[in-house]
Amino acid sequence: MRLAWRKDVAVTGRRGELEQLARRWLAPGIADRFMALLRPAIRLCASGPDDQRVGQLGGEPALPDGMPWPTWADDEPLSLVLAIGFDRLVGYEVDIDLPLAGSLLFFRPGPESARDPDPGARLIYVPPGTAVSRRRPPSGTYVYPLKRLAARTVLTWPHGCEPVLMAQFGSFAQADQLVWGQQCDGQSFQDALWRHRVVVDRGEPDHQIGGYACTVQNSIVYQAAGAALGHYNYQGAAFAAEAAMWTALLQVSEDTDVDMGWGDGALLYWAVRTTDLSARNFSRAYYETQGH
């Protein structure tokens, strides 16, 4: 279990702002249901001189001693995308059961790879107490520049195709009618939320742990459940049960600070079953790239 959350005044204020929007745009009962769906997430942003560093984009990873550099087809070395230290995240409000210590390393084929990169993604969990050392990438590895990361808590809401909307409103069409499409002063609730999010994001890239992922094409939970079942019949009971077992773990957006670009405004997504997360088993995590 995680320790007590840091009481972030900014998050409390944002919750109040979201409730004001919901009460203005939505019917009272619907506003209550929308507010109940909000989930906290950890936003990763560039660290300043006075910020606690919680992880990094790019650079050199701290790998367990004796572990070879991760590779995929034809021994092509993978590029470090992001590394996070869980002990630095203790106390940040988030909706998933993160470890209290240890680290997690996210690798992916570099942009120069000639193959479809998605099958090559790797996730390495380093348990607490493991002897590690900073590792220089092998020759031929594409290395993203180092960007040190700080953290803050943000509130997230489900986008138009999250499975929880089916459970809450019966269908995506009903959610569109009762929530996203509601009008006030010539503006939809969805547009009002987008304007709110632009202010909260501060122009930062969408690097995020937990919460609802920022959907580009489809919910990462939906995609993970469909991949596990071998079909995408989201209206079936079996699909709903499987989707309820998954949660968004990490999303990484394009970041010009470190020359990270996935094409067409794409984001990288990792999802994990909640039972695997509690067991600290990341070997079955689901990965996908989505672009416009």
**Tens digits of residue pLDDT in 177-187:** 999 999 998 99
pLDDT at 202: 73
| pLDDT score recorded for residue 250 | 98
Q: Are strands 183-184 and 147-156 parallel, antiparallel or unpaired?
A: unpaired
- Residue 137: count of CB within 10 angstroms of its CB: 17
Q: Which amino acid is at 120?
A: G
Express each pLDDT in 32-61 by its tens digit: 999 999 999 999 999 999 999 999 999 999
Asked if pLDDT for residue 163 goes beyond 70, the answer is yes
Mean pLDDT of 257-283: 93
Q: What percent of the chain is modeled with pLDDT above 70?
A: 95
**Mean pLDDT value across the chain:** 90
pLDDT band at 275 (very low <50, low <70, confident <90, very high): very high
Q: How far is CA 287 from CA 94, 113, 282, in A?
A: 20, 17, 11
pLDDT of residue 4: 42
pTM of model > 0.85: yes
CA 251 to chain centre: 3
Is 199 or 134 the better-scoring residue by pLDDT? 134
State the architecture of 9-290 in CATH terms: Roll (2.30)
Confidence of residue 14 (pLDDT cuts 50, 70, 90): confident
3 state SS for 249-279: EEEEECEHHHCECCCCCCEEEEEEEHHHHHC
For residues 166 and 225, what is the distance between their CA atoms, to the nearest angstrom?
Answer: 14
Query: Of 12 and 121, which is predicted with more confidence?
Result: 121
Burial of 264 (0-12, 13-18, 19+ CB in 10 A): exposed
pLDDT in tens, 95-111: 999 999 999 999 999 88
Cα 102 from chain centroid (whole Å): 19
Task: From 131, 139, 106, select the one nearest 260 (Cα to Cα).
Answer: 106
Residue with tokens 């560039």: 46
Looking at residue 10, its pLDDT comes to 59
Evaluate if residue 9 carries a pLDDT over 70: no
Residue boundaries of the structural domains of the chain: 9-290
Residues 6+ apart with CB under 8 A from 115: 73, 109
pLDDT at 159 over 50: yes
Structure confidence at residue 38 (pLDDT): 95
Nearest Cα residue to 208 out of 252, 173, 165, 242 = 252
Q: Both tokens of residue 204?
A: 């930062």
HEC profile of the chain: CCCCCCCCHHHHHHHHHHHHHHHHHCCHHHHHHHHHHCEEEEEEEECCCCCCCCEEECCCCEEECCCCCCEEHHHEECEEEEEEEHHHCCCCCCCCCCCCCCEEEEEECCCCCCCCCHHHCEEEEECCCCCEEECCCCCCCCCCCCEEEEEEEEEECCCCCCHHHHHHHCCHHHHHHHHHCCEECCEEHHHHHHHHHHHHHCCCCCEEECCCCCCCCCCHHHHHHHHHHCCCCCCCHHHHHHHCCEEEEEEEECEHHHCECCCCCCEEEEEEEHHHHHCCCCCCCEEEEECC
**Of 85-89, 160-164, 288-292, highest mean pLDDT:** 85-89
Give the per-residue pLDDT at 288. Answer: 93
pLDDT at site 197: 85
Share above pLDDT 90 across residues of the chain, in percent, rounded to a whole number: 70
